[in-house]
Amino acid sequence: MSAAGCGARTIHRSGRVTVVYVDLGPSSAREREALTWLDGSEQARRRQFARSGPRREFTLCRAALRALLCRELDCGNEELSFGASDHGKPFGLLGGFAAPVSFNVSHSGRHGLIAMAPRGRIGVDVEDRKGRRDMDDDIRLLFAPGEQAGLASAEGSTKAELFYNLWTMKEALVKAAGVGLRIDTTSFEIPPAMSRGATSCLVRLPVAPSVRWRLENLGNRRYAAALAVEELGAADAAEDSEPQVA
């Protein structure tokens, strides 16, 4: 089965990074086929989901990820496995060694996103756009003072749209940094230009402030989404710009 067979299609390319959308809508045929890609530990994890929705989301996203990695690494599915960092961020293993590829996965409702790059840290986040009854509590707990002020002045659908846009950007940055709860999301602000419609910017985080992150808004009317990519040094950037010989 190919990544397309899992309902996956490329929606964004930016420099060395590719973002793939995975359709997580109900499909017994796709789910049965996707299940054949999962190894024993993944199938055991799948069975732990009590509800069919999360079980389907995990199955389709993991199968699509495996298919994409196998294509990128030119390997068989049986050669591929996964490990996790101290903070829980997964990484690929090829023959027991760390695979030369970075990736990150997010899913919400019917929407899944997979971001991949040959090097550098990346993070991606997606949120289905739906009503939240606890929005005010989340605003107080998750956002910096300037962001709280901007959200307080917004109303109705505009407020919900801004909430999701800001939150996916913060989540993408936290996931890219890969340090889990060491980053307090109230300790940094998304640049105001992103709230005013800019689609990309550069950001520094309180953790490792010497690192610059390129942040991109990938959302649309159906879902909010964001991508965060580590800006590489000049040598790495030059290597990425070299033409690839087939």
- Residue 4's pLDDT band (cuts 50, 70, 90): low
**What average pLDDT does this structure show over 74-97?**
91
Are residues 134 and 220 both part of a single domain?
yes
Q: Say what the pLDDT of residue 244 is.
A: 30
Listed range (136-145, 179-188, 195-204, 219-228) with the worst mean pLDDT: 179-188
State mean pLDDT over 114-143. 90
Domain identity same for 109 and 147: no
Both 105 and 174 in a single domain?
A: no
Which among 118, 143, 168 is the end of a domain? 118
pLDDT of residue 30: 92
CA distances (Å), origin 116, targets 120, 136, 228, 240: 10, 34, 11, 14
Does residue 181 fall inside a structural domain?
A: yes
Beta strands in the chain (DSSP E): 8-14, 17-23, 80-84, 90-94, 97-98, 102-108, 111-117, 122-128, 200-203, 213-217, 223-230
Same domain, 64 and 132: no
- The residue among 70, 97, 118 that closes a domain is 118
Query: Residue 95: its pLDDT value, please?
Result: 87
* Backbone torsions φ then ψ of 215, nearest 5 degrees: -110, 130
- Domain assignment present for residue 67? The answer is yes
145 and 40 fall within a common domain? no
- The residue out of 100, 118, 136 marking a domain boundary is 118
Question: pLDDT at residue 2 above 90?
Answer: no
pLDDT tens digit sequence for 161-216? 999 999 999 999 999 998 866 789 999 999 999 999 999 999 999 988 999 999 99
pLDDT for res 6: 66
Q: Is residue 243 domain-resident?
A: no
Alpha-carbon distance of 92 to 90, in angstroms, equals 7
CA distance 246 to 235: 22
Cα gap 142→186, rounded to integer Å: 6
Q: Range of 41's domain?
A: 4-118
Q: Are residues 73 and 147 in the same domain?
A: no
> Which of 63-72, 87-96, 141-150 has the least mean pLDDT?
87-96
Using the predicted structure, report yes or no on whether residue 235 has a pLDDT greater than 50: no
70: CATH: 3.90.470.20
Count of the separate structural domains present in the chain: 2
| Contact in structure between 120 and 16 (CB atoms under 8 Å) | yes
| DSSP-assigned letters across all residues of 92-157 | EEETTEE-S-EEEEEEETTEEEEEEESSS-EEEEEEE----TTHHHHHHHHS-HHHHHHHHT--HH
